[in-house]
């Protein structure tokens, strides 16, 4: 159980579209890091690209059914039709469900990417890299160049007392190889002063992807 000063933390998730939470941990049976299990009144599934239920621990898209679902997005008919089917919504979030019925957030659908046919969650890689003592912030994105296979690139800002160096670059790459499966380990890292952020303070992955060539030049 996740506790801070003897208080158990019960995480959950809901959306504006449903006006309520539909997954939550419970007192006495919480799983730290998970979004919990479905709450009464909601049916939650993880589905594949064909709309079929995923197996346990298989990454797919989160689908939620509930009577509190909104009618649609204001003046956005196309977006409404892409997301809502009656009282069912495809949230756009990538999740997996474990064998105990707990749901785990793996990232937004447009953040995940495939390497060698396997889904890669940037959040999973970033959480490992954040454990390196010299890393302040990190953002992981895919990089495709010509006919080459998709590469995993990590943009890293360092703690103020630590200057970038080739030695540190090798150290971080070795750290990643020791703590991540080989197909999740970044092939390249680039040091940047800071990472771009959205208006709400989240790392702006799309901007990193859009301006990747410029950032690579600056980082090098």
Are 103 and 152 found together in one domain?
no
Q: Domain of 71: which CATH number? A: 2.30.38.10
**Helical H segments across the chain, by residue range:** 77-83, 122-129, 166-179, 205-210, 212-219
Are 160 and 100 found together in one domain?
no
108, 134, 160: which is the final residue of a domain? 108
Q: Which of 102, 63, 110, 113 is nearest to 84 (CA)?
A: 63
Are 14 and 104 found together in one domain?
yes
Are 15 and 73 found together in one domain?
yes
Are 180 and 87 found together in one domain?
no
**What 3-state class would DSSP assign to 19?**
coil
DSSP for residue 53: B
Are 117 and 74 found together in one domain?
no
Are 10 and 100 found together in one domain?
yes
108, 131, 152: which is the final residue of a domain? 108
Are 123 and 71 found together in one domain?
no
Angle between helices 122-129 and 166-179 (to 10 degrees): 120
Domains in the chain: how many in total? Answer: 2
Domain with 55 in it: 3-108
Are 24 and 84 found together in one domain?
yes
Are 11 and 71 found together in one domain?
yes
Instruction: Please give the Cα distance from 77 to 73 (Å, whole number).
Output: 7
How does 193-220 read in b/e, with b if 16+ C-beta sit within 10 Å? eebbeeeeeebbbeebbeebeebeeebe
57, 78, 108: which is the final residue of a domain? 108
Are 57 and 130 found together in one domain?
no
How does 85-109 read in b/e, with b if 16+ C-beta sit within 10 Å? eeeebbbebbbbbeeeebbbbbbee
- CB atoms under 10 Å from CB of 172, counted, come to 21
pLDDT tens per residue, the chain (220 residues)? 454 567 778 889 998 899 999 999 998 888 888 999 999 999 999 998 888 999 999 888 999 999 999 999 999 999 999 889 888 998 888 899 999 999 998 877 667 777 777 777 788 888 899 999 889 988 888 877 665 677 888 898 888 777 888 889 999 999 999 998 888 888 888 888 888 787 777 777 777 766 555 554 444 4
Instruction: Please give the Cα distance from 8 to 1 (Å, whole number).
Output: 7
């Amino acid at each position: 159980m996740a506790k801070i000063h003897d208080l158990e933390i019960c995480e959950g998730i809901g959306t504006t579209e449903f006006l309520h939470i539909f997954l939550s941990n419970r007192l006495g049976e919480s799983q730290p890091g998970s979004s919990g299990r479905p709450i009464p009144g909601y049916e939650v599934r993880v589905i594949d690209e064909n709309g079929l239920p995923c197996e346990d621990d298989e990454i797919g898209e989160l689908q939620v059914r509930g009577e509190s679902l909104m009618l649609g997005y204001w003046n956005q008919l196309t977006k409404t039709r892409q997301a809502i089917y009656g009282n069912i919504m495809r949230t756009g979030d990538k999740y997996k469900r474990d064998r105990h019925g707990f749901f785990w957030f793996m990232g937004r659908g447009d953040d995940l990417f495939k390497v060698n046919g396997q889904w890669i969650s940037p959040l999973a890689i970033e959480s490992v890299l954040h454990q390196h003592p010299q890393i302040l912030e990190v953002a992981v994105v895919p990089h495709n160049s010509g006919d080459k296979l998709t590469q995993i690139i990590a943009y890293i800002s360092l703690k103020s007392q630590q200057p970038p160096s080739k030695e540190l670059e090798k150290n971080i790459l070795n750290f990643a190889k020791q703590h991540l499966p080989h197909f999740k380990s970044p092939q390249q890292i680039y040091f940047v002063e800071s990472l771009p952020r959205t208006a709400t303070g989240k790392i702006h992955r799309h901007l990193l992807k859009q301006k990747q060539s410029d950032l690579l030049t600056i980082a090098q």
